[in-house]
């Protein structure tokens, strides 16, 4: 009997230079077709989806305090390290892997393919 197989490939795309995102800031960037909010806190860079899960507010225009991002529209808050909503643990932003190399910040975009279930019989 066949099983479902998932194959994922991550491409890292340059989105900014380290000096473009000072500590304690957040900004909107684009990686391929993805709009992303890129934050610099606790000595690291973190990337989450650009649009708030409440009413799609632009998170890259929000306020960053520590690693907590506040949506500029209605105050929803998320931890940029995990994407977790600060008020409702069932709500979580999509997060992206981040790499820094030679002063360049790169965000991982995942390309997934999924094979269909297959049933094989042996006679």
pLDDT-derived band at 66 (thresholds 50, 70, 90) equals very high
For the chain, the straight-line distance linking the first and the last C-alpha, in angstroms and rounded, comes to 13
Q: Dihedrals φ, ψ of 60, to 5°?
A: -65, -10
Taking only the tens place, the pLDDT of each residue in 28-44 is 999 988 999 999 999 99
How many other C-beta atoms can be found within 10 angstroms of the C-beta atom of residue 96?
A: 24
What is the pLDDT at residue 76? 96
Which is nearest to 25 in space by CA: 80, 103, 90?
80
pTM listed for this prediction = 0.81
Which is nearest to 36 in space by CA: 7, 12, 65?
12
Evaluate whether 13 touches 109 at the Cβ level (below 8 Å): yes
The span from the CA of 37 to the CA of 51, in Å, is: 8
Helix, strand and coil percent figures for the chain, each rounded to 5 = 5, 50, 45
Which architecture, in CATH terms, is 6-113?
3-layer Sandwich (2.102)
What is the pLDDT at residue 44? 97
Domains in the chain: boundaries? 6-113
DSSP-derived letter for residue 82 is T
What is the pLDDT at residue 2? 55
Taking only the tens place, the pLDDT of each residue in 67-114 is 999 999 999 999 999 999 999 999 999 999 999 999 999 999 985 433
The span from the CA of 70 to the CA of 89, in Å, is: 16
What is the pLDDT at residue 117? 33
Residue 62 in this model has a pLDDT that exceeds 80? yes
Residue 22 in this model has a pLDDT that exceeds 80? yes
What is the pLDDT at residue 4? 52
């Amino acid at each position: 009997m066949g099983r479902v197989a998932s194959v994922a490939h991550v491409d890292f795309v340059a989105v900014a230079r380290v000096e473009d995102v000072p500590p304690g800031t957040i900004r909107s960037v684009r990686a391929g077709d993805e709009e992303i909010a890129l934050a610099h806190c606790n000595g690291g860079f973190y990337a989450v989806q650009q649009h708030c899960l409440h009413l799609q507010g632009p998170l890259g225009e929000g306020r960053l305090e520590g690693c907590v991002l506040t949506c500029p529209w209605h105050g929803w808050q998320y931890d940029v390290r995990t994407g977790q909503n600060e008020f409702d643990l069932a709500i979580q932003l999509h997060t992206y892997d981040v790499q820094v190399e030679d002063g360049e910040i790169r965000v991982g975009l995942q390309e997934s393919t999924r094979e269909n279930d297959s049933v094989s019989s042996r006679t």
